[in-house]
Structures are given as C-alpha cells and as structure tokens.
Structure 1
C-alpha cells in the first residue's frame, strides 16, 4: 500500500478514502436497514389515510438530485438549520465531518432498503400471518417470526444494493461533508478531485479500486444469498 501513497494528494494514502468509504457505507446501511424495514412494515400492513404520501416521502430520495438532498440536509442539520442550534448545544457538528457523510449516505440509500423491504413484505402469504394472529401472536411477533423470515431474501438484496450505493454516494456528501482529504474524502470524492486536478493516473487507480470493491460486494451478496437459500430449503 505504501508504494501507492506518493500519487495521492497531501500525503494521504489510498487506505484513507477506502476505509472512510467502507465506514460511511457500512454505518449508512446499518441505520437505513432498521429505518427502512420499519417504515416498510408500517406501510405494508394495509391501507390507511396518508399511506400514499408516506410512501412517496420514503421514496423521494430516489428521484431527487443528490445536490437537492444535500441542500435539504443543510437546511435541517446545518449550523443555521432547523436542528442546527440544538445539535450545537449537544456538541454535534455534522457539517464538514465524516459523521455528516454518514447522514448524507443514510438518506440516499434509505429508499433502496425501504422499497425492497416493502415489496418483500407485501409478497408474504398473508394467510400465514393471520394464522399466527389467530394463535394469539402479537403484531411484533408476527413480524419477527413469520413476515421477516419469509421476506428476508428481498430485504437482504435491498440491503446489499444499499451498501454498494453508499460506497458511491457523491452529491449529498459533497454538499454536507465537503471534500477534505483524510477527513471526509470518500473514494467517489477522491476520484472527482483527481479528475479535476488532471491526475489521470490517480483517477484510474481509484476507479479501479472502487470497481473491485463494488464487484466484491455484489459477488459476496450472491454467495450469501445462495447459502441462505440452501439453509432455508
């Protein structure tokens, strides 16, 4: 790894953007998993007033430009944003920090898990859920013991896609966390920086590393899904 360090700016090694990218994508996927599956379960339970609006809001980050998402996040958690003063009092600063990159990536990847989880939960045989309720199971037990095990494949697929998408997040991260080498510069931002500075060798290396990582994630997801199918068959 040391022989790659000289081509990176400001003495920042290749490991820095790689590790930051994995950390940001991992945490974003972790938070989005619970939020996305919970929202999907709530929406998939059945028709209710305002269901369409909630579904549209959950899916909105899929269609909004990343810069628009970044601007909304600045209005929400920026220093002068809606939650900015409260966060400052708590000693939390998300602007130009890796934690801000996590927040941005979480918002971006959330719809991928939400959409996959909702489709998977709605495809579950509802007669099995009704049977569990008839036997006295609570809604929480029905979800954990019946719905979730039957829908795990779709949820898992959405989770892995969310992780891969989180590794490539760019626009919202740039707006909220900035592009600070060694602090907030992920692989996507490092590629942009190298391209802007005309460093083709560095850009090519970073593109290759990113491609290998994303391909590895997809292959690992397929392998885990195959193992899961064998386990449950």
Structure 2
C-alpha cells in the first residue's frame, strides 16, 4: 500500500519542480544583488534593499495580485511575453515558480550578503595587487569564501519555495496537476470531508523534505569550510 496517492504524489513532484527552478533561476540574480548591497556604494542603494525585502513585509496575497496584474495575459509584462515569446505565466506552473522565486528572494539575498560582508576586503585587494582581474579575484578568492553562505541562501530559498502558498494561489490558482503544489493540496484536502488523512501525509512529507534540505545544506557548508581551511 503506497504512502501517498497519485494526486498527492503529483503535488509533491510539482512542488519539487517549482522549488528547484525557482531556486536555480534566482541564484545568479540573488548573488549579484547581494554583491551590490554588500559592496556597492551608489544612489538608491537603500531603495534597492527595501525593494528586495518588500515580499517579506507585504501580505503574500498582495504579492500574488501584483504578479497577476503585471504578468497576467493583460498585464504589461505578461502581454509582451505572450505576444513575442509565447510564454504564459498566469495559471501555469512556471508562474508558480516565479511567485515562489520572488517570495524566497529576500532570504537568499540576505544569507549571501552576510557571507560577503564577512569576507575581509584586504584578501581581495591582495589578489588584485598581484595582477588578478576582478573576475579572477571573485572566482578564486571571494566565491570560495562565501560558498557556505551561497549554499545556505539556496537552501533557504528552496525551503521557502516549497512552502509558498499565498502568492502562488493568487497568481496561478489551485489547478490539480498544473499548479497544485503541496501547500495548495493541503488546503484543498482540508476543505473536503475525509481529506484530513491526505493532508496529514503531505504535512509529513513537507517536514521530511525540509529537514533533508537543511541537513544537506549543513553537510555541504561544513565540507566547503573544511576544504577552504585545507583540512
């Protein structure tokens, strides 16, 4: 007898897919923004910091509504994407990935920014004085030192994306097999008589995946730290 039914497995698989792509696509942007906030000195820096953290402050439903107005088929960005590239985000799993990425972005950036700020700039300056370009300094000095923070940010984003509900259900609805992630499935099962058992099973799976992700993050961070220390 299987622990999860077909509909429940479908929700788990879709959540993993959404969280994976939300994390992967936002990772380079998160690292770039974290570098700007940690090392940049430019007009509007505080405004950028506020915009990055805005999804943490706004109600998720508001974020989802703004996404719908912007990336819906009649929205300014959504109309361009559909007309020129044939990409539709509203009421699609790709829209769920976008919503999850935006909601998880502040956590990712914060973890990376703290790691970058902990790096002594003198180490980078020393490499630069030896003739290394900015790109080489980043790849050979900065990135190895901040890698544990990058991993932590990615795992936090993945976990947040797995649990995202408010913005996702507002932007892409709760369509079985298309946009119904684990949180949406739990909500749906709790609305029907006899659905509590399925909801509990999905809660157990969610906790297990979150714990596995955190343990993996801790193991990777320690391994990277030992490698950097030369042990």
TM-score by length of 1: 0.92
**Could you say which residue in structure 1 is the equivalent of 2:30?**
36
Structure 1 residue 115: deviation in Å? 0.9
State the distance in 2 between where 1:58 and 1:139 align: 25
State the distance in 2 between where 1:64 and 1:17 align: 26
Q: Does residue 165 of structure 2 align to residue 174 of structure 1?
A: no
* Structure 1 residues 192-230: Cα deviation after superposition (integer angstroms, max 9, x where no partner): 111122421111111111111111111221222222233
**SS at structure 1 position matched to 2:91:** coil
Find 1:227's aligned residue among 210, 216, 223. 223
Find 1:96's aligned residue among 91, 94, 97. 91
State the distance in 1 between where 2:9 and 2:100 align: 20
- Contact (CA 8 Å) 1:2, 1:13: kept in 2 or not? no
* Structure 1 residues 38-82: Cα deviation after superposition (integer angstroms, max 9, x where no partner): 111122223221111111111211211111111111121111111
**Could you say which residue in structure 1 is the equivalent of 2:128?**
133
Find 1:217's aligned residue among 213, 217, 220. 213
**SS at structure 2 position matched to 1:14:** helix
**SS at structure 1 position matched to 2:119:** coil
Structure 1 residue 171: deviation in Å? 0.7
TM-score by length of 2: 0.93
State the distance in 2 between where 1:58 and 1:143 align: 23
Count of residue pairs brought into register by the alignment: 227
- Contact (CA 8 Å) 2:151, 2:220: kept in 1 or not? no
Q: Which runs of 5+ in 2 are unaligned?
A: none
**Could you say which residue in structure 2 is the equivalent of 1:8?**
none
Q: Which runs of 5+ in 1 are unaligned?
A: 6-11
Q: Note the 1:190-201 alignment, pairs <5 A.
A: 190-198=185-193, 199-201=195-197
Structure 1 residue 2: deviation in Å? 4.8
Query: 98-107 vs 132-141, which deviates more?
Result: 132-141
Query: 56-65 vs 133-142, which deviates more?
Result: 133-142
- Contact (CA 8 Å) 2:4, 2:201: kept in 1 or not? no
Query: 39-48 vs 199-208, which deviates more?
Result: 39-48
**Could you say which residue in structure 2 is the equivalent of 1:9?**
none
Task: Please identify runs of 4+ aligned residues in structure 1 that moved more than 3 A.
Answer: 1-4
